Chain A
């Protein structure tokens, strides 16, 4: 579990010992510029300069309030206990206490769930693919498992008893790709989250505070603050909220929608080296179903359940984290508007 840097004492020290003084210097410089502008405006009787100075005073005040509110905001979200939140909403919750840890826990669990789906789908896909490549030779003039046609020569019929898995392989291939995407997206969102914990808050938030206090750099600072808050607070908040439903979403502790699918998590069932000889011999002598049942699917096959598992993994690993990302992006737009800036994040949305 990666500890969110935003909650560490080092971050608070950095904020109070470096960023706050810098912001204070910038604020003083801005105040001096405003005061001079106001006096000049009065002296030359230019109402535009005077109005500009008055507007800047309000913005300086907003910057000051933002500084206090935002720093306390991080402290507030670091102190939230998810178990208390679950108690408030009368939900059974077994995840981590910290909101930031809970967000990480959601994505780790989503990756685990998607990986299980991937394994179950792959088990079937591999089984059908190997079986589909097997051949059998049925001797002519058959006598039970063999025939007279093979005694004096090589007479009989060559077949592929398991050649008919094109439909299942196509179905499973489609879902395999989709599940692989879900797994990779879970990891992708997890990497974004870890980057946010380690980089965003340290980088964008303090710079945003400093920039917003500088004259003419306010809009830039506002956008940085909006992005920092949205990705440091809203994105983990949504993931942590989804994690409150974790027991239901992931079917913990199995991370499987149906416990019987655990039979397909262990691929050691496959016969490895003996497969080629043993299975071909088996299919030629004991029949095709013998090979399939003994070597590849001793616990039966569940292709429809595997495909459905892949569909559920898509919701867990792709759909819900994407909603969290959408909420964070929507929040950036909203916060930027709050600070007086319009941001077009449609290109980022296209990336999502």
Chain B
């Protein structure tokens, strides 16, 4: 029986190509070392060494199971990532998340342009000053003093949109990388590293990182999208129009020389009223899609990383990552 097992083990490298053969060789090397430790344990009748080698042997069985899962189903993860319930018409969940993030990025760019354009119009009006001087005498007056109050909310809006764009770009970068490399690099390398005890923590962490970033991160984006769609459809088309189609904000021209009471201040108040009325139209894109989506995705990723790294060998303190949120 032992000889058959040995022959089977030696045949493993021939059965696979590329990384699988390396993983199989790693298993064999690890098994050889375990056999040596077990033999020493038997020789000096030491139960600790024997228990250690037995424990490691179970870890090798777990490793073999991991390889079978990865190979046998051609990636359970691929199956999840291609689930039609999540892909929203795209080939995989990662593609769906990237399309969603691209769409959000385009909308955010438009929002930034609109906010910047309106900010520019308001600032020009706010900076106007009227002068009239002739041979040393004259006057200067600024009757557009109501407009500067609007620059603070625009400054805050710009800051929030800037954060949102950066968040979306970062989430897309991580998902794009893991889409290309999670299955071909992180998982196989993690499995190989997990073979040896000294690198088991690193291997487990790499596997956990690969799975979390490959599945949970895009899933976070898609889940929030689905919730948003449900929210919008429940509230009806009018609600969608009211909350998700940001447009320009009208700013009336101010005449800095016109000092008649109310003539210019009403224009500033009108611009503020337009700003307030249009503000909620930005909420869907900026807060729900661009801020909540990546935040949920990152939290799912961090939670998955903690749970899976514990499952695969070494629990990681992910509090540093969750602080990024």
Contact = CB atoms under 8 A, between A and B. Distances in A.
A344 to B, nearest CB: 10
Nearest to A54: B46
Interface in A155-194: 155-175, 178
A311 B105 CA distance: 12
Interface string B132-174: 1111001010000000000110111111011101111110011
Contacts of A234: 199, 201-202
A12 interface: no
B168 A327 contact: no
A153 B185 contact: no
A299 interface: no
A244 interface: yes
B243 interface: no
B123 interface: yes
Interface stretch (B90-98, B262-270, B315-323): B315-323
A233 B314 CA distance: 16
Interface string B86-130: 000000000000000000010011001101100111111011111
Contacts of A214: none
Given A171-B112, A307-B169, A326-B321, A166 B185 contact: no
A174 B163 contact: yes
Contacts of A315: 170, 173-174
B79 interface: no
A218 B321 CA distance: 33
Nearest to A138: B128
A168 B319 CA distance: 32
Contacts of B38: none
Q: Describe A's contact surface by its main secondary structure.
A: helix
Contact of B121 (A164, A331, A350): A164
B22 A88 contact: yes
Contact of A158 (B131, B159, B199, B209): B131
Contacts of A307: 112, 162, 165-166, 169
A279 interface: no
Contact of A170 (B127, B129, B162): B162
A241 B202 CA distance: 11
A224 interface: no
Interface stretch (A19-27, A41-49, A201-209, A332-340): A332-340
Interface string B188-210: 11000100011111100110010
Given A155-B134, A166-B158, A303-B112, A330 B315 contact: yes
A311 B173 contact: yes
A1 interface: no
A349 interface: yes
A91 B129 contact: no
A58 interface: yes
Interface in B191-242: 193, 197-202, 205-206, 209
A169 B154 CA distance: 10
Q: Chain A interface: which size bin?
A: 35 or more
B202 A323 contact: no
B126 A163 contact: yes
Given A155-B133, A234-B199, A308 B184 contact: no
A167 B170 contact: no
A159 B124 contact: yes
B316 A326 contact: yes
B81 interface: no
Contact of B129 (A85, A155, A158, A338): A158
Q: Describe B's contact surface by its main secondary structure.
A: helix
A323 B318 CA distance: 9
A330 B208 CA distance: 13
Interface string B12-40: 00000011001000000000000000001
A124 to B, nearest CB: 11
Nearest to B108: A304
Given A315-B174, A346-B317, A167 B19 contact: no
Given A140-B132, A303-B112, A331-B314, A164 B124 contact: yes
B321 A322 contact: yes
Given A244-B185, A311-B165, A167 B202 contact: no
A308 B185 contact: no
B109 A163 contact: no
B293 to A, nearest CB: 14
B9 interface: no
B257 A157 contact: yes
B180 A349 contact: no
A215 to B, nearest CB: 19
B154 A241 contact: no
Given A153-B135, A155-B131, A311-B166, A327 B184 contact: no
A238 interface: yes
A16 interface: no
A152 B202 CA distance: 80
Nearest to A73: B198
A63 to B, nearest CB: 14
Contacts of A334: 200-201, 313-314
Contact of A172 (B162, B180, B206): B162
B112 A168 contact: yes
29 contacts: A57-B44, A61-B44, A69-B198, A153-B133, A153-B138, A154-B132, A155-B133, A155-B134, A157-B256, A158-B128, A159-B127, A161-B124, A166-B123, A167-B158, A167-B161, A168-B112, A171-B165, A174-B163, A175-B166, A248-B181, A304-B108, A307-B165, A308-B105, A310-B169, A315-B170, A329-B317, A330-B205, A330-B309, A330-B314
A-B complex: 8 closest residue pairs judged by Cβ atoms: A171-B162, A167-B158, A164-B120, A164-B123, A311-B166, A311-B169, A334-B201, A160-B127
